[in-house]
Amino acid sequence: VCLLFQSLRQISQRTISTASRRQFENRVREKQKLFQEDNGIPVHLKGGLMDALLYRVTMGISVFGTAYVVYQLLVTSMPKKQK
């Protein structure tokens, strides 16, 4: 029984130690240079294509939502026609 627990412990330690070797490259310095560069691009768009896409989708939803709220306010402010 003791041998079984030792072997299980070794297997679990081995999988944890091999998983920790697969580390990602630290790209913080590259990102700092990219975001601190003075190129006239707003900081919320410096991340690239995905940032631009998310910005446009967010603005589209905001404009549509605002227009829909104004429409609903106009509809609710009109008195209902009585027959």
**pTM of the model as a whole:** 0.57
pLDDT digits (tens, 9 = 90+) for 70-79: 999 999 999 8
The residues, any chain, with a CB within 8 Å of residue 44's CB and separated by 6 or more, are 51, 55
What six digits make up the tokens of 3? 């041998």
pLDDT digits (tens, 9 = 90+) for 26-63: 889 988 898 899 989 998 889 899 999 999 999 999 99
pLDDT band at 16 (very low <50, low <70, confident <90, very high): low
Q: Hey, CA dihedral for 46, 47, 49, 52, is it positive or negative? A: negative
